[in-house]
Amino acid sequence: MKKLLMAAIVSSLLPVSGFAQEMTIKMGHAASSKHVFHQGLELFGKKVSEKTDGQIKIEVYGDRQLGDDKQLLEGLQIGLIDGALVSSPTLPLVIGAGSFDALQLPFTVSSYEQLSSLLTSDLGDELLATLDSKSIKGLGFVEAGQRHYLSAKSAVTSTADFAGLKTRIVPIPLHKAVWEAIGVNPIGMAYGEVYSALETKTIDGVEINLSSIQTESLYDAAKNVTLTGHYFWPGVIMLSQAVWDKLSDDQKKAMIDAGHETTAEAYALAASQEADTIAFLKENGVTIDELSDLDKMRELTAPVVEKWKSQDPLIAKIADKLASEN
């Protein structure tokens, strides 16, 4: 009898299957609430609700309401933040998740479709699994768009025009190496400071995706875009380990499935918005140019790609997979 009683008590303390436990999860991101990151998190939340019969609700907070990328990551690790969508380049910088540099190697990805296919494959899951040791559960990706160059000075139309330009970058070793190779003067700066820095001419330009130029109104401070498409900008959907551990097995599966589906749909969404965003920027007085010698930019950055591949087996594995398809 005592054994049966003890078994019943232990059983009551374990996560149950099914969706009996109702939960509201607050998820933040550092972009504008008009940004594709916000749309992507809302899509994820909708899928989670559907797959858990409404038992898990996702509340999305944009505009840095829960903090910037660094604050979100630190909050996730200590369980202060439930969940977040964080730009992948900040993961190596803030929590030492260096394998995510694989997603920022210049000119290794040929299309939105190619990167979506990679991130929804076993390789994408392997990359997300590197967060397990950081007290974070990675679930999927939302794409902000290819990165290009926005200049507050004259238009950049050749690689030589980059020489000496004070350019805002995310202050991680990979980006510093890439942009020094191109010839700019890279300046590490928080995302929320970019508008004022362009407006006051503290910086000459910024490497950035078109969606952020639109939603952060950067087109009011700088008027020349050069389409380089040097790399993409995935955001990573994450939960704190503390929240993840509260979920039943069925709820965890629902989260993982929602993450995979969101990744595929978010990449299609980002690709479909690019032409409309370019049209919007032109209507608001922005000049759109292409780099006359893009191959030169590729040539300058190729040694950086090889160096980073040599530093991390997973980076090499991902880069080689992409190269085999191009």
Q: Is 87 left (phi over 0), alpha (psi -120 to 50) or beta?
A: beta
Q: Is the pLDDT of residue 10 over 70?
A: no
Could you tell me which of 103, 93, 105, 86 has the C-alpha nearest to residue 40?
A: 86
pLDDT, residue 21, reads 73
Average pLDDT over residues 251-271: 96
Q: Is the pLDDT of residue 99 over 70?
A: yes
Contact 170, 69 (CB under 8 A): no
> What pLDDT score does 305 carry?
98
Per-residue confidence (pLDDT) for residue 38, from 0 to 100: 96
Residue 276 CB partners (closer than 8 Å, separation 6+): none
Q: Phi, psi at residue 53, to the nearest 5°?
A: 55, 35
> Hey, CA dihedral for 39, 269, 260, 97, is it positive or negative?
negative
Q: Which of these, 199, 224, 201, lies nearest to 284 by C-alpha position?
A: 224
- Residue ranges and CATH numbers for the domains of the chain are 22-145+233-276 (3.40.190.170), 147-231+282-325 (3.40.190.170)
Question: pLDDT class for 57, splitting at 50, 70, 90?
Answer: very high
**Rounded mean pLDDT of the chain?**
93
Name the token pair of 292.
């006359």
How many angstroms separate the CA atoms of 39 and 259, rounded? 14
CA distance 282 to 51: 41
Q: Examine the pLDDT at 78 and tell me if it is beyond 70.
A: yes
pLDDT in tens, 182-229: 999 999 998 889 999 999 999 999 999 999 999 999 999 999 999 999
In this prediction, residues 278-298 reach a mean pLDDT of 97
